[in-house]
Amino acid sequence: MLVMATVTACSDASSDPSESARSVQPSATTSNSREPAPSSAPSPPSSTTPAQLTLGRHSELATGLDAPWGLTFLPDGSALVSERLTGRIMRVPRTGGDPELVGLVPDVAQSAEGGLLGLATSPTFESDRTVFAYVSALPTNRVVALEIAEDFDAVTQTDVLLDGIATSDRHHGGRLRIGPDGHLWITTGDAFEPSNAADRDTLNGKILRIALDGSVPEDNPSSSAIYSVGHRNVQGITFGPDGTAFASELGDSQWDEVNVITGDADYGWPTSEGSEGDFGQDPIFEFPTEDASPSGIAYAGGSVWMAALRGQRLWQLPVAGDQPAGSPVPHMIERYGRIRTVEVAPDGSLWLITSNTDGVSAAFGGLPPRSGDDRILRVELVPAE
Ligand SMILES: [Ca+2]
């Protein structure tokens, strides 16, 4: 049984955008009082007290990116960033600076929310020079392997690991992460056809898990790449220190979700949204869509950090093992506009991608870009006072 922490925050659009690292609690917070069921899972390391970190200094690493979306670190500490609409992969130096063009991913199809999306670096990059990418394309979306040239001046597609993910104008999912199991986890969307999410014969509205050669792991819950079902549009996935998989999901009009992902579970869409409705696995956190509309997530220091588009903030979600360990804390509300992606750098800081050049007509509260958009920010994590 999962404990549910429900946040019903009022819109705080009037809050002062110049104030950083706000730790105001949502105006109304309720927690389910049920005791968590006894679990045979090991407790998380006691050396990390949940929510003991907060945001420290912010600095700007790069500017002028065009609708950036995915970010993955390389062994040298630099990062590759995908540009959704141009299909370009850019490289940002470890200490920041002008993004440099690495190359173009072939056959990227633009749409309202599609294009070149998530990136994930091969664990053996130094020998295979491989980065995986989620590409919305025709006739279907796909996950590909890309070889990055030694001089970072070319991108070559070397393999298609998975295709057959139905495409559409919206709801592509698109995040990739290599799990502690060594497999590639892929988030998809319902392709704007809600019934896809409940249909176990489609790859849409799912969380998928494949081996790095594209094969289906023997311990997947089905004989396909499908790991969990009943998702509307999942754009974030991360893993806690005990291997717990967390995923962020864009709700329809009421509730965004953060779920703990277990094999073969159904997360309820389209029958239920958030914890409403009695079908499907409940989320561990939920948010009014105007406060979140989440994209990427990353775990660090006892919290899942969640990038919010329409909510224009970074959410801190305290967790312990697979349970919530406190109420969500919003940071940097409206300070940088929409936030697309958060990743943990090798030095333990967070790197954020803003998403203000995504088009003012973009879903989830598109904004006119400000000077320098879109940018990559570095945010230190420091002990809370
Ligand atoms: Ca759900």
Q: Can the peptide bond before residue 139 be classed as cis, meaning omega within 30 degrees of 0?
A: yes
Residue 275 identity (one-letter amino acid): S
* 27 has pLDDT over 60: no
Q: Cα of 11 to ligand 1 centre, how many Å?
A: 22
From CA 237, how far away is CA 245, in angstroms rounded?
7
Name beta bridge partners: 6. Answer: 30, 286
Whole-number Å distance, alpha carbon 231 to ligand 1 midpoint, is 6
What's the pLDDT at 364?
Answer: 58
What distance in angstroms lies between residue 239's CA and the mean position of ligand 1's atoms? 19
Whose structure tokens read 């879109």? Answer: 374
In 3-state terms, what secondary structure has residue 216? coil
User: 266: CA distance to ligand 1 center in Å?
Assistant: 8
| Burial degree of 218 (CB within 10 A; 0-12, 13-18, 19+) | exposed
Question: What span, in angstroms and rounded, lies between the C-alpha atoms of 297 and 306?
Answer: 4
Helices (H) and strands (E) in the chain, counts: 2, 27
Provide the pLDDT confidence category of residue 127 given band limits of 50, 70 and 90.
very high
Ligand 1 centroid vs 379 CA: distance in angstroms? 30
| Residue 85 CA to ligand 1 centre (angstroms) | 29
C-alpha of residue 233 to centroid of ligand 1, in Å: 10
pLDDT the model gives residue 74: 98
Backbone conformation region of residue 330, classed left if phi is above 0, alpha if psi is from -120 to 50, else beta = beta
Task: With a cut of 60, say whether residue 361 has pLDDT above it.
Answer: no
pLDDT score at 293 = 95
Beta bridge partners of 246: 238, 260
pTM of the model: 0.88
* Stretch (H or E) spanning 379: strand 376-383
Answer whether residue 13 shows pLDDT above 60: no
pLDDT at 289 over 60: yes
pLDDT in the model for residue 385: 76
Q: How far is CA 362 from the centre of its chain?
A: 18
Candidate from 163-167, 233-237, 271-275, 365-369 with smallest mean pLDDT: 365-369
pLDDT value at residue 31: 37
* C-alpha 52 – ligand 1 centre gap (Å): 29
How many A from CA of 90 to the centre of ligand 1? 34
CA 130 to chain centre: 21
Rounded distance between C-alpha atoms, residue 289 and residue 374, angstroms = 23
Q: State in Å: Cα 112 to ligand 1 middle.
A: 23
Cα 117 to middle of ligand 1, angstroms: 23
**Distance between CA atoms of residues 175 and 261, nearest Å:** 15
Q: How far is the CA of 347 from the centre of ligand 1 (A)?
A: 34
User: From the CA of 267, how far away is ligand 1's center (Å)?
Assistant: 4
Backbone φ/ψ region at 360: left (φ over 0), alpha (ψ -120 to 50), beta: alpha
191 C-alpha to ligand 1 centroid (Å):
16
At residue 365, the pLDDT reads 65
Q: Report how far ligand 1's centroid is from the alpha carbon of 189 (Å).
A: 12
Which one has a higher pLDDT value, 1 or 208?
Answer: 208
Query: At 303, which helix (H) or strand (E)?
Result: strand 303-308
**Do residues 123 and 173 lie in contact, with contact meaning Cβ atoms separated by under 8 Å?**
no
Q: Ligand 1 centre and the CA of 283: distance in Å?
A: 6
- 3-state class (DSSP) for residue 209: strand
- 237 Cα: distance to centroid of ligand 1 (angstroms): 15
Give me the sheet containing 5-7, strands edge to edge.
Answer: 29-31, 5-7, 285-288, 255-260, 245-249, 234-239
When pLDDT is cut at 50, 70 and 90, the band that residue 93 belongs to is very high
The Å distance, Cα 110 to ligand 1 centre, comes to: 28
What's the whole-number mean pLDDT along residues 210-227?
97
Distance 47 CA to ligand 1 centre (A): 32
> Ligand 1 centre from 279 Cα, in Å?
9
Residue 10 pLDDT greater than 50, yes or no:
no
Structure confidence at residue 18 (pLDDT)? 29
Has residue 86 got a pLDDT over 70? yes
Dist CA 285 CA 13 (whole Å): 21
- CA-based diameter of the chain, in Å? 56
Average pLDDT, the chain: 88
Rounded to the nearest whole angstrom, what is the distance from the C-alpha of residue 256 to the centroid of ligand 1? 8
SS3 assignment, position 282: coil
Tell me which H or E stretch contains 196: helix 195-198
Give the mean model confidence (pLDDT) for residues 268-278. 92
Q: Please tell me the distance between residue 293's alpha carbon and the centre of ligand 1 in angstroms.
A: 14
C-alpha of residue 275 to centroid of ligand 1, in Å? 7
CA of 309 to the centre of ligand 1 (A): 19
Q: What is the pLDDT of residue 212?
A: 98
Query: Using 50, 70 and 90 to split pLDDT, how confident is the model at 278?
Result: confident
Give the whole-number percent of the chain exceeding pLDDT 90: 82
How many whole angstroms from 297 Cα to the centroid of ligand 1? 17
Residue 286 Cα to ligand 1 middle (Å): 9
Residue 109 sits at φ, ψ, to 5 deg, of -100, 125
For residue 366, the CA-to-ligand 1 centroid distance in Å is: 24
Q: Averaged over 246-268, what is the pLDDT? A: 97
